[in-house]
Structure 1
Amino acid sequence: MGLVGILLSLSLLMWLSYRGWTILLVAPAAALLAAAISGEPLLAHWTLTFMRGASEFLAQWFPMFLLGGLFGKLMDDSGSITSIARFLTEQLGTRRTMLSVVLASAVVTYGGVSVFVAFFVLVPMAKEMFRAANIPRRLMPAAIGLGAFTFTMSALPGSPSINNAIPMPYFGTTTYAAPGLGIIASVVIAAFGLWWLSRAEAIARQAEEGYGDVSQDPPIIDEKLREHATAVGDFDPAEFNHGERSTFEPSFAMAILPLAVVIVVNFLMSQVILPAIDFSYLAKAEWGQTHIGAVAGVWSVVTALATGSLTVILVNVQRLPSLRETLDAGANSSVLPMLTIASLVGFGVVIASLPAFGLVRDAVLSIQGGPLISLTIAMNALAGLTGTASGGMAIALNALGDTYLKIAEEQGINPGLMHRLTTISAGTLDALPHNGTVLLLLHISGLSHRESYLDMVMTVIVSCVIGLFVVLVLGSVFGSF
């Protein structure tokens, strides 16, 4: 009965979240259902097991969510995102519209801007480019998605995204884990996605299919869509219109400077500064008896985002007409996404504590092909079932992270390889039709699944599956590099 309870609770979680119910209610309800069917004490699991798991996630990731929200909102209100996207698209021109949109999306998100913030800037600009080039607007989500939430989210080393950060404490890694494999995966994903977009554009031109109908109402983010979005991202879209945007843009050099600061500071902190400092004091009880490997990655990213946010303010002080409101909106934007993912973690902790979970763990670890294969399958499955890369990853690593790290140590597998496989695996099947990022991008673009989702499947799912396969093969043969 315990296994039945786990399956039923996961089904309830999937169904209600797909219907737009808030995870803040759905996650504890589903966890208590599993506990009840297993004959476990309900109040103890809710107030102790569930809340302990959720609170530990909040304690660990609150600084990163907070600073990520602040950085994204500052970049938006200062006009920096618009300046970067406009410069890149103007330089490449309408003859290379697809590459322009993909590149602009990749640059801003790799620099630390939330994909949700980027969507509200990139979609209007992509519309202008696609209209000028007479390319069907139905291809816009596929182009933006390829640049914004594929290789920059999970494969490219150094990415400060929450998806690239979550494995760090479990494997003692940084955002630069397995850099060679990450770069190869990024090239493969980008190349396949751009090939598909080029092919789709050529077919559309041959069929004389133009931009299409341009009349549509401005997008309205209702509560159902908001719940979908906050379950997968790190920015509450309800806060996007709060604050005040600059009426004039910074130059491209000033706009991209904060992104460069984030990338450089993250690299220096993780690869140079922190490794050179003696952190033996962290082993003491008052610091949780931890070690620098468990926190170095997080410290590097939060320092980079804090420095990047300060840089935005300093170089754009005249372009932030209402700084306090911008900071308030950025801080508030982090709360609901953070609590939502923490609730998913709490659900996973309850499930992992049930006696029947041993059967699930043994089944996962016994998958033929070794730990790398089982890790890949587990991450794909949970990301697909929950519709969120970060949530599925957090659930799986909370339950199995220590086990996989132990296996890695026993079998001589570099934890960096497991980190990279984890992030790329979680970023494949998470983009199924019910994924909040997919729903939000389509909604802002004024398009439907019927019009645009097939091309999105090719650029944000199939491309990542191919990249994952390449990394899995190379990692199995040559190890991490």
Structure 2
Amino acid sequence: MLGVIGIIISLALLMYLAYRGITVLILAPILAMVAVLFSGDLPILASYTEIFMVNFAGYAKSYFPLFLLGAIFGKVMDASGAAKSIAHFIANKLGKDKAILAVVLSCGILTYGGVSLFVVAFAVYPVAAALFREGNIPKRFIPAAIALGSFTFTMTALPGTPQIQNAIPMPFFETTAWAAPFLGLIGAAVMFGGGMFWLTKRSKKAMAAGEGYGEHKEDIKEFDMDKLPSFIAALAPIILVLVLNYLLGKLYFANMDGGYLEQFGTTLDKVKGIWSIIISLVASIILALILFRKNINDMKDTVNQGAYGSLLAIINTASEVGYGNVIKSLGAFALVKAAILAIPGTPLISLAASTSILAGITGSASGGMSIALGALGDIYMQKAAALGISPEAFHRIAAMACGGLDTLPHNGAVITLLGITGLTHKQSYADLGMCTVVIPLCATIVTIIAASFGIV
């Protein structure tokens, strides 16, 4: 029982201290050792070097290429003005009276095409501010609109998205990024429809009460539309990511003989999804650099900045994975695991619950899901085979569940987004939380129900 108390204290401190701004690079190993001390069944130093760091390195080995290539691709799309070109084109076509929809769609297209969430926020915010100001829509709804397009349906639900949250389940369930397309579309429809309904209703009510854009101190650099790439050119690398990812995952690697991978201790089913995304992102980066060579002032510096920017993201998430595997190794975790697996109903429910709760505690969708699947992924794969549930359903539910409680107030992406827009939790989090926490949780429930009827 003391070990369980230690796990609870460790998790509570992780959530609280992360919210207070202490980096997870320090928190994760220290608090993992706190749990070890309470448990008393593992040596401290060995837990750090042989469990924490081994799993830290294993996660980096598996997913660093995706973080690296995604960050470089995002930086190229941002530095070239391609991201702004897409946002501005959509805004012009929809008009100022559809400002919220324009922002959501702009963010959605960029995120679905592989541009990292943080880059999307930086790129779209100037366009969003101009649209909201022109339409006299309260600025406090901008974070929720950006988050709806970036942190929800295109991050976890839409089949084929190259975001890391959709890649993590692939080796566990031997799936591709296109797993459970119908479940993904159902979840995406609930998130997009519910979020748009909420923001439209809330903004109209605020405007009817006399609230406008408001007076805000803003340092937004104007951009010259004549110097931006054309919409078609800007969209080409994004289309290439999606098309190539599909062709490789569903056709090319699916028909390849992967027997030679046994010497590496893996199978083609476990790596084909990640390989597909790697090749797709490399090809799209090359295409973007060629198309936008005249729009990028310093190509070498742009690529370097993208590469450097990927390091903190992968190291933070790998630290959380190391932490989770230390917890998993404790004797007391057997009680926690038994409680999770004892949740009544389909195992999809316990998978969603464990993933969502851990994402909320760590403040990270990818970190929470990695911990949950690292601890329970093999068990759920066995359950899939025993109960006749498609592994693709487990993939999609896990991906969607990680995108619910992850955006509680202490989440790094939430804090960064509010910082970019110059707003506070008090001003904007109620709507942001509704769009990224409450509605995605509802979407996950709807998707679990659909999966129980055999929809994949």
Question: Matched residues in 2 for 1:246 and 1:398: separation?
Answer: 47
Q: Which among 91, 96, 99 is matched to residue 98 of structure 2?
A: 96
1:268 aligns with 2:247: yes
Question: Matched residues in 2 for 1:422 and 1:350: separation?
Answer: 21
1:401 aligns with 2:377: yes
Question: Matched residues in 2 for 1:328 and 1:439: separation?
Answer: 25
Tell me, which stretches of 5 or more residues in structure 2 are unaligned? none
TM-score of the superposed pair, with normalisation by structure 1: 0.92
User: 1:388 Cα deviation (Å)?
Assistant: 1.0
Q: Which among 444, 450, 455 is matched to residue 468 of structure 1?
A: 444
Judge conservation of contact 2:320–2:362 (CA < 8 Å) in 1: no
Instruction: After superposing the two structures, state which structure 1 stretch, 292-301 or 31-40, moved more.
Output: 31-40
Q: Which among 428, 434, 438 is matched to residue 458 of structure 1?
A: 434
User: 1:247 Cα deviation (Å)?
Assistant: 8.8
Partner of 1:432 in structure 2? 408
User: 1:277 Cα deviation (Å)?
Assistant: 1.2
1:283 aligns with 2:262: yes
Q: How does 1:251-266 map to 2 (within 5 A)?
A: 251-266=230-245
User: 1:462 Cα deviation (Å)?
Assistant: 2.0
Question: Matched residues in 1 for 2:170 and 2:107: separation?
Answer: 25
Partner of 1:43 in structure 2? 45
TM-aligned CA distance change 1:216 to 1:96, over 3 Å: closer
Question: Matched residues in 2 for 1:459 and 1:389: separation?
Answer: 15
Partner of 2:185 in structure 1? 183
Partner of 1:121 in structure 2? 123
Tell me, which stretches of 5 or more residues in structure 1 are unaligned? 220-244
Judge conservation of contact 1:94–1:132 (CA < 8 Å) in 2: yes
Question: Matched residues in 2 for 1:337 and 1:134: separation?
Answer: 36
Q: How does 1:408-423 map to 2 (within 5 A)?
A: 408-423=384-399
- Percent identical across equivalent pairs? 45
RMSD of the alignment, in Å? 1.5
Question: Matched residues in 1 for 2:38 and 2:440: separation?
Answer: 37
User: 1:218 Cα deviation (Å)?
Assistant: 7.1
Q: Which among 306, 310, 313 is matched to residue 289 of structure 2?
A: 313
User: 1:246 Cα deviation (Å)?
Assistant: 11
Question: Matched residues in 2 for 1:353 and 1:459: separation?
Answer: 35
User: 1:217 Cα deviation (Å)?
Assistant: 5.7
Instruction: After superposing the two structures, state which structure 1 stretch, 256-265 or 199-208, moved more.
Output: 199-208
Question: Matched residues in 2 for 1:196 and 1:431: separation?
Answer: 17
Judge conservation of contact 1:246–1:320 (CA < 8 Å) in 2: no
Partner of 2:68 in structure 1? 66
One-letter amino acid of the counterpart of residue 366, structure 2: S
Judge conservation of contact 1:246–1:319 (CA < 8 Å) in 2: no
One-letter amino acid of the counterpart of residue 204, structure 1: A
Question: Matched residues in 2 for 1:254 and 1:314: separation?
Answer: 11
Judge conservation of contact 2:107–2:149 (CA < 8 Å) in 1: yes
Provide, for residues 259-280 of structure 1, a one-character-per-residue CA deviation record: whole Å limited to 9, x for no partner: 0010111111111111121111
TM-score of the superposed pair, with normalisation by structure 2: 0.97
TM-aligned CA distance change 1:246 to 1:42, over 3 Å: farther
Question: Matched residues in 2 for 1:215 and 1:173: separation?
Answer: 47
Judge conservation of contact 1:372–1:472 (CA < 8 Å) in 2: yes
One-letter amino acid of the counterpart of residue 449, structure 2: V
Judge conservation of contact 2:138–2:213 (CA < 8 Å) in 1: yes
One-letter amino acid of the counterpart of residue 401, structure 1: G
One-letter amino acid of the counterpart of residue 263, structure 1: L
Partner of 2:197 in structure 1? 195
Q: In structure 1, the residue corresponding to 2:109 is in which secondary structure?
A: helix
Provide, for residues 66-122 of structure 1, a one-character-per-residue CA deviation record: whole Å limited to 9, x for no partner: 111110111111110011111110111112111111111101111000110111111
TM-aligned CA distance change 1:157 to 1:56, over 3 Å: same
1:15 aligns with 2:12: no
User: 1:25 Cα deviation (Å)?
Assistant: 1.1
Question: Matched residues in 1 for 2:409 and 2:288: separation?
Answer: 35
Partner of 1:172 in structure 2? 174
Partner of 1:57 in structure 2? 59
Question: Matched residues in 2 for 1:35 and 1:130: separation?
Answer: 51
Provide, for residues 198-233 of structure 1, a one-character-per-residue CA deviation record: whole Å limited to 9, x for no partner: 1112212211211111324679xxxxxxxxxxxxxx
Partner of 2:335 in structure 1? 359
Instruction: After superposing the two structures, state which structure 1 stretch, 27-36 or 246-255, moved more.
Output: 246-255
Question: Matched residues in 2 for 1:306 and 1:272: separation?
Answer: 19
Judge conservation of contact 2:76–2:285 (CA < 8 Å) in 1: yes
Partner of 2:82 in structure 1? 80
One-letter amino acid of the counterpart of residue 301, structure 2: E
Runs of 4+ aligned structure 1 residues displaced above 6 Å come to none
Partner of 2:326 in structure 1? 350
TM-aligned CA distance change 1:247 to 1:45, over 3 Å: farther
Q: In structure 2, the residue corresponding to 1:107 is in which secondary structure?
A: helix
Partner of 1:233 in structure 2? none
TM-aligned CA distance change 1:90 to 1:458, over 3 Å: same
1:136 aligns with 2:138: yes
TM-aligned CA distance change 1:261 to 1:217, over 3 Å: closer
Provide, for residues 288-316 of structure 1, a one-character-per-residue CA deviation record: whole Å limited to 9, x for no partner: 2x111100110011111111101101111
Count of aligned pairs: 452
Question: Matched residues in 2 for 1:454 and 1:215: separation?
Answer: 22
One-letter amino acid of the counterpart of residue 443, structure 2: G
Instruction: After superposing the two structures, state which structure 1 stretch, 453-462 or 440-449, moved more.
Output: 453-462
Judge conservation of contact 1:134–1:210 (CA < 8 Å) in 2: yes
Question: Matched residues in 2 for 1:313 and 1:209: separation?
Answer: 44
